[in-house]
Amino acid sequence: MKDIVAAYVGLTKPRVIELLLLTTVPVMFYAARGVPDLGLVVATVLGGAFSAGSASVFNCVYDRDIDEQMRRTRRRALPRHIVSPRAALVFGFVLAILSTAILLLWVNPLSAALSVAANAFYVFVYTMLLKRRTTQNIVWGGLAGCFPALIGWTAVTGSLSWTPVVLFLVVFFWTPPHTWALALRYREDYANVDVPMLPVVKPAHEVGRQIVIYSWVMVATSLALWPVADTSVVYPIAATLLGAVFLVEAHRMWRRARGTESLTVIQPMRLFHTSNLYLSLLFVAVAIDPLVTR
């Protein structure tokens, strides 16, 4: 029973859920200009977690053929036949229904609609349409992962504004460097299953160049929140320092990729881990800013 429960939990990709919720809760703090209602936070987090988990389950069902062939994914529940595709589909639909019900009943219709849209976009646009067809798969498919910033804001305010849109764009421009660094590490896996991730079809130096471009745009977008949202100096100081660290690491990886395809030399996972830390701390700064200036 313990193994079966662990298998179902694994289908939801808990680490992805953690990252998505990390961009939801801080935005709620900023929207509330302080500490938001605890019940609202719990409902939004629970609904968001179920929604993201549902999308991940559907992704695992659709990609089970290639997951079985990739080192990074072959120990998931479906490739190991611990959970059947039918049972996984039922689980995914149950999570989706619970998510929508929670957000409708205890948050608001706009947040519920945004959650359903993100789920559908990830499954139908990214997983089924883009992932196996274009090098731009993660660029546009990554839009689904940007929705939590909007959901966190609408949960508190019931409406949209430019503030969550800027944070939405920060996550949008963050996604390619984050994902391409990981894809560079596992490019042989993607190549073996004919998934045209950018590191599969382009040399490492070109991947590094595009990562640097997206990184600069991401940092510039993060700083745009200062005038748009009228933050205190706490946020721009944090965004500048974190952005500088990210850019240094991105440029270093690009430089290491010149004239070599050796992953030992390029060390793409350094940038991947840096990207996780960057996004986490940036959104912590978003949450802290209104608390400092109250």
Residue 224 C-alpha from the chain's centroid: 20
Task: Give the pLDDT confidence score for residue 294 in this predicted structure.
Answer: 57
Q: Is 148 in contact with 44 (CB distance < 8 Å)?
A: no
Architecture of domain 161-294: Up-down Bundle (1.20)
For residue range 35-61, list pLDDT tens digits in order. Answer: 999 999 999 999 999 999 999 999 999
How big is the CA angle at 37 (ends 158 and 283), to the nearest 5 degrees?
Answer: 75
pLDDT surpasses 90 at 137: yes
Q: What share of the chain has pLDDT > 70, as a percent?
A: 99
Burial of 252 (0-12, 13-18, 19+ CB in 10 A): middle
> Do the domains at 1-159 and 161-294 have one common CATH topology?
no
1-159: CATH topology? Tetracycline Repressor; domain 2 (1.10.357)
* Mean pLDDT of the residues in the chain: 95
User: Which residue has better confidence, 141 or 169?
Assistant: 169
Locate the domains of the chain by residue range.
Answer: 1-159, 161-294
Dihedral over alpha carbons 185, 80, 87, 61 (to 10 degrees): 30
207/255 Cα distance (integer angstroms): 11
Sign of the alpha-carbon dihedral angle for 195, 197, 198, 200: negative
